[in-house]
Chain A
Amino acid sequence: MKLLKTLTALFIPDAQADRVVPPTGFTATLTTFSAAAMAFLAVFAMALTLASGRLADRWSNELARSSTLRISAPEDQMQVQIAAALKVLETTPGVASARALTAEEQKALLEPFFGPDLPVEDLPIPQLIEVNETSTGYDSTGLRLRLAAEVPGAVLDDHTRWRKPLVAAASRIRLLGWTAFLLIGGAMAAMITLAASAALSANTQVIKVLRLVGAQDSYIAGAFVRRFTYRGFVGAAIGALAGTAAIWLLPEAETSSGFLTGLGFQGTHWLWPLCIPVLGGAVALAATRAAAHRKLREMP
């Protein structure tokens, strides 16, 4: 109930209490502007974070579902080993399906490197087997051991080796995004604290008079807190709107490869920037409150 009362008091301005602090003119605009700039940057930090999060999920989920078995063997043993390998795979728990690529498919894979005219059939290229996993996945160490015993020419490549650094990179970018987001919040808190301290110092005389006539600290602090919370909120709302619009206007990057995902919001993520003005207001409230109570404690 008390919280509700405090919140209402915050948004229904006490005209009289707000009048006791003289109007400030252009410094007010500066505070709003800084809050807007911070919110604008925050939208990009948020977009970066969400995009790298998507990327990391994609790489770790989709690629984890498939792996490749490569069989190198003398030509006369090839078919035997393929059959043996498929048999091993079919009896491995966690493998949904396994299929040897056809000669045409292998040729298509090599075409970008050797051109269309290469007589692939005459080369001793290894045979590839595509393995699709179930959602639980298989035990790759166990499978390797069994293959080593039964299909000596087989090499299992479960993509972990090159997937891991990619996922790590994406997670690191996500971490950087959050760090940037926190830094922006901290910078905004610092900026509001400076502005509020300046306003409090400029109004020392007003605060003194209010104390003399029996105003409690909460009344005096409230007049300043309402002002700066309002400026922080409005500034952050303007900045968040501008930032979101800027992201919305980004040229669409075609992501046919499936690995890249545009720096932007998708689906419900578009709602996330809505929390920036709220956070901006909250940061302004906390910063001004702390500054006001610090200042008031110094006065009789």
Chain B
Amino acid sequence: MIELDNVAYSYGGGELLSEISLQLSPGSFHFLTGPSGAGKTTFMKLCYGALQPTAGQARLFDRDVRSLDRDEMAMMRRRIGVVHQDCQFLDHLPISENIALPLNVSGRDNIDELANLKELMAWVGLKSRADALPPELSGGERQRAALARAVIMSPDVILADEPTGNIDWEMSQRLLRLLVELNRMGKTVMVATHDMNLIRAAKGQIQARVLRIANRRVQLAGADL
């Protein structure tokens, strides 16, 4: 689904990531870890096409990222659900409309889908907050809303960048359970986090692989946790 082939990425100065080869197979669950500034967010962006590799080849659903035009890229984003580090909502619309936004922009905002929206809001525990504006939500609520928005198009892949970055442990656990549930439903999941406790907690629930960014490279961390 997502294939990186000898990919490198450099910002103006030097290379941030280099010689990365990776295949995300359907139904897998990956953690991505590494120190702050190691390039976790950059790596995630390479995986959903927000950045193009400066060397090597990135393929999303068997399409080379470089060959996609802007509209094709938009279609690709509908197949990959992304939970962004800072959530990114439209602050003037209530949270229910924010969650439904991917449906609206793709012209799929019909009755059936809106019934799904109710179900989804209940699943992430935001039913009672449907009419609240994003700035009125707590950190945990925002993260769960972002997750709901990421999965409303029932994408095949879910990428979450530090989804538990600024929420407490209990809320992190709850978010993790949602991600695990999605994975059990067959979705491919990748979570970038620096929270080792979260990874350990997940290991008890699911077969998860851990990727670690060190020395500009991504390595499989194996069972040494």
Contact = CB atoms under 8 A, between A and B. Distances in A.
Number of chain B interface residues as a range: 20 to 34
Given A19-B93, A22-B92, A213 B70 contact: no
Interface stretch (B74-82, B202-210, B213-221): B74-82
A208 B106 CA distance: 16
Given A19-B93, A20-B93, A217-B70, A212 B82 contact: yes
Interface string B44-68: 0000001100000000000000000
A275 interface: no
A23 B84 CA distance: 26
Interface residues of A, number: 23
A218 B101 CA distance: 16
B143 to A, nearest CB: 16
B102 interface: yes
B77 A212 contact: yes
A208 B75 CA distance: 15
Interface in A221-270: none
B71 interface: yes
A19 to B, nearest CB: 7
A214 B50 contact: no
B70 A219 contact: no
Interface in B82-109: 82, 84, 88-90, 92-93, 97, 101-102, 104-106, 109
Contacts of A205: 88
B93 A216 contact: no
Nearest to A223: B105
B149 interface: yes
25 contacts: A16-B104, A16-B109, A19-B93, A20-B90, A20-B93, A20-B104, A23-B92, A209-B88, A209-B89, A209-B90, A210-B101, A210-B105, A211-B74, A212-B77, A212-B82, A212-B84, A213-B77, A213-B149, A214-B75, A214-B153, A215-B105, A216-B70, A216-B105, A217-B74, A300-B51
Given A217-B71, A219-B105, A297-B70, 9 more contacts: A17-B104, A209-B101, A212-B50, A213-B105, A214-B75, A214-B106, A296-B70, A300-B50, A300-B51
